[in-house]
């Protein structure tokens, strides 16, 4: 079957369950396409040989009751995978092979999925274009010269390019939703505490959250159902009643109140983003839901707040990469010299920039002015959402202030790069779930996404809204397979 890789996860699961396809057929098809797609540079490490072995083994005694029976999938290289190299896109971990498995990936394998390989990402998930990866930038399947977004750029590219039927990424400030938007796929950032952080290379602990990336909302719901579990190994994991997101998925969102926050109409936002948003509001109405104007007054403080909180936590989280225990170690005259050389050589420029920012804002004499104040503002941003949710069930915004930009276009302008996350960052600061769905194209034919933000633990609701809108939008990704020779 030549069109295996074009199938959605839901279709593949159905075909394997109906024995129309074997896991080996499916795995082979994705491996072959992945091998032909090396130009995208979506993978850092492939695990094709052992994937095929696992597929064959699955087929010998298939357990078709599983949710992801024999489904091959590649995952972002921020998830620790037992006996498979895990780099976080960094030179400092370029030889690191975990002896343990992250809870989220463990959940996936327990439901029958098979690891294809580890996908490229910005170094330690710090970036919005996948250009900070030690393993080179990733190309957007939409266009050779476009970034796929970041930090889960390899993941977005791999799903859009059909190198993997689905994937998981991580989202600290928009790292799932922004690349999903740039590549025309669906990406969900779950509520903070919904998916375990155990075994995920940490960037900013109070913001990091794993989430699914898929070609459609239903696939996304199914994967979310698999990865979201309470985990006592993560003290911030929350024990709440989790829905069967895929089973409970419905397009009936009649009467739902959808907030439209005026503060997201930012200066200099391209007209096509505004137009997309208006179209989105119309879709909402078409689905029988009711758009309501709301205000989230502290929105403009979200980005500066994020760029204090996230680097602060990162500066501390990344202190463990010191060359002493594992990973890259440079030779030094003494301990301090070894530290300095290891970290100067092992970390890229963007990571070093954020470590410095984080170290600065936590320094005595600056702590109150920066970190403490940022925490207070973070609370205000959360309060904005709490207040809004007294009136509405969800919030609709554009996912990004622009479509995908060109490779190299923003690498020398970190602030302009940071502005990419302006619509996604408040959601992380408030710990809320947010989903980006493809909703249209700009004049150049590049995909654009809309973001639906939900109440905490209300993933089902935003998945339902996304599911209903998806049908009305009827988005078709324009992918030409240009990279396949």
Partner 1 sequence: MNKKNTEYLINRKDNQYEVVIGLEVHAQVLSESKLFSSSSTKFGAEPNTQVSLVDAAFPGMLPVINEFCIKQAIKTGIGLNAKINKRSVFDRKNYFYADLPQGYQISQFKDPIVGEGKVILDMPNGQKEVGIERLHLEQDAGKSIHDLDPQNTFVDLNRSGVALMEIVTKPDLRSPDEVNAYIKKLRSIMRYLGTCDGNMQEGSLRADVNVSVRPKGSKEFGTRCEIKNVNSIKFMQMAIEYEANRQVDLIEEGKTIDQETRLFDTKKNETRSMRSKEDAHDYRYFPDPDLLPLEVSEKFIEELKNDIPELPDDKKKRFIEEFKLSPYEANILVSDIDTAKYFEEVVAKMGKNKDIKLAVNWITGELFAVLNSKGLEISQSPVSAKNFAILINLIKNGTISGKIAKTVFELMIDGDKDPQKIVEEKGLKQQSDPKALEALIDKIINDNREKAIEYKQGKEKLFGFFVGQAMKASGGKANPQLINEILKKKL
Binding positions for partner 1, rule: CB under 8 A: 79-80, 86, 88, 93, 96, 98-100, 102, 197-202, 204-206, 232-236, 312-313, 315-316, 318-320, 322, 324-326, 335, 339, 359, 362-364, 367, 371
CA 289 to chain centre: 27
Nearer to partner 1, 364 or 443 (CB): 364
Buried b (16+ CB within 10 A) or exposed e, 234-252: beebeeeebbebbeebebe
Q: How many CB atoms lie within 10 A of CB 35?
A: 12
CB of 355 to partner 1, least distance (A): 11
Q: Between 49 and 334, whose beta carbon lies closer to partner 1?
A: 334
Whole-angstrom distance, CA of residue 422 vs CA of residue 413: 15
223 to 204, 216, 337, 433: CA distances (angstroms): 23, 11, 45, 15
- In the complex with partner 1, the residue whose CB is nearer, 59 or 234, is 234
| Least spacing, CB of residue 173 vs partner 1, in Å | 15
- In angstroms, give the least distance from the CB of 29 to partner 1: 31
As beta bridge partners, residue 19 has none
Is residue 102 among the annotated active site residues?
A: no
Least CB distance from residue 13 to partner 1, whole Å? 28
Q: How far apart, in whole angstroms, are the C-alpha atoms of residue 86 and residue 76?
A: 9
Catalytic annotation present for 478: no
Dist. CA 443–CA 149, nearest whole Å: 19
Complex with partner 1: residue 41 or 86, whichever CB lies closer: 86
CA distances from 40 to 120, 125, 143, 166, 252 (A): 10, 18, 10, 17, 38
Compare residues 18 and 99 and give the one whose CB is closer to partner 1.
99
Q: Which of 175, 181, 315, 403 is catalytic?
A: 175
86 vs 129 by CB, closer to partner 1: 86
What's the token pair of residue 242? Answer: 């989790």
Catalytic pick from 37, 151, 157, 403?
Answer: 151
Which residue among 54, 67, 76, 410 is the active-site one? 76
* Distance from C-alpha of 244 to C-alpha of 109, rounded to nearest angstrom: 18
Distance CA 96, CA 84 (A): 9
Least distance between partner 1 and beta carbon 190 (Å): 17
The nearest distance, CB 343 to partner 1, in angstroms, is 10
Half-sphere exposure of 269 (CA within 13 A, CB side): 20
> Does residue 175 have an active-site annotation?
yes
Spatial distance between the Cα atoms of 21 and 97, rounded to a whole number of angstroms: 33
Give catalytic residues, as residue numbers.
Answer: 76, 151, 175
């Amino acid at each position: 079957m030549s069109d295996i890789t074009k199938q959605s996860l839901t279709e593949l699961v159905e075909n394997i369950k109906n024995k129309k396809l074997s896991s080996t057929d499916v795995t082979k098809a994705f491996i072959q396409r992945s091998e032909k797609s090396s130009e995208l540079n979506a993978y850092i490490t492939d695990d094709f040989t052992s994937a095929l072995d696992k597929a064959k083994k699955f087929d010998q005694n298939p357990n078709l009751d599983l949710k992801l029976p024999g489904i091959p999938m590649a995952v972002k290289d921020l998830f620790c995978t037992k006996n498979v190299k895990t780099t976080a896109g960094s030179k400092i971990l370029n030889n690191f092979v975990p002896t343990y498995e992250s809870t989220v990936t463990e959940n996936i394998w327990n439901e029958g999925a098979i690891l294809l390989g580890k996908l490229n990402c910005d170094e330690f998930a710090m970036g919005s274009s996948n250009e900070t990866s030690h393993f080179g930038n990733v190309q957007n399947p939409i266009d050779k010269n476009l970034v796929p977004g970041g930090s889960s750029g390899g993941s977005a590219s791999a799903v859009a390019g059909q190198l993997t039927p689905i994937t998981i990424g991580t989202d600290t400030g928009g790292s799932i939703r922004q690349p999903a938007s740039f590549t025309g796929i669906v990406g969900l950032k779950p509520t903070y505490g919904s998916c375990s952080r155990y075994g995920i290379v940490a960037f900013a602990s109070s913001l990091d959250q794993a989430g699914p990336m898929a070609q459609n909302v239903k696939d996304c719901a199914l994967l979310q159902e698999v990865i979201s579990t309470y985990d006592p190994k993560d003290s911030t994991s929350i024990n709440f009643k989790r829905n069967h997101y895929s089973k409970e998925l419905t397009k009936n969102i009649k009467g739902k109140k959808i907030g439209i926050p005026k503060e997201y109409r930012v200066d200099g936002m391209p007209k096509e983003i505004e137009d997309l948003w208006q179209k989105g509001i119309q879709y909402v109405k078409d689905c029988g839901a009711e758009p309501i104007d709301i205000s989230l007054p502290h929105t403009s403080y979200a980005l500066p707040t994020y760029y204090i909180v996230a680097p602060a936590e990162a500066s501390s989280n990344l202190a463990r990469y010191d060359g002493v225990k594992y990973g890259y170690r440079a030779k030094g005259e003494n301990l301090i010299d070894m530290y300095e050389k290891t970290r100067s050589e092992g970390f890229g420029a963007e990571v070093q920039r954020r470590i410095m920012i984080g170290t600065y804002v936590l320094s005595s004499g600056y702590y109150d002015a920066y970190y403490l104040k940022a925490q207070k503002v973070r609370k205000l941003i959360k309060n904005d959402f709490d207040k809004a949710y007294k009136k509405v069930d969800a919030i609709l915004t554009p996912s990004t202030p622009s479509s995908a930009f060109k490779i190299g276009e923003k690498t020398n302008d970190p602030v302009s790069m940071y502005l990419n996350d302006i619509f996604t960052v408040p959601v992380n600061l408030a710990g809320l779930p947010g989903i980006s769905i493809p909703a249209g194209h700009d004049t150049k034919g590049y995909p654009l996404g809309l973001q639906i933000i939900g109440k905490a633990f209300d993933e089902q609701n935003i998945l339902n809204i996304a599911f209903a809108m998806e049908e009305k939008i009827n988005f078709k990704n324009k992918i030409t397979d240009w990279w396949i020779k």
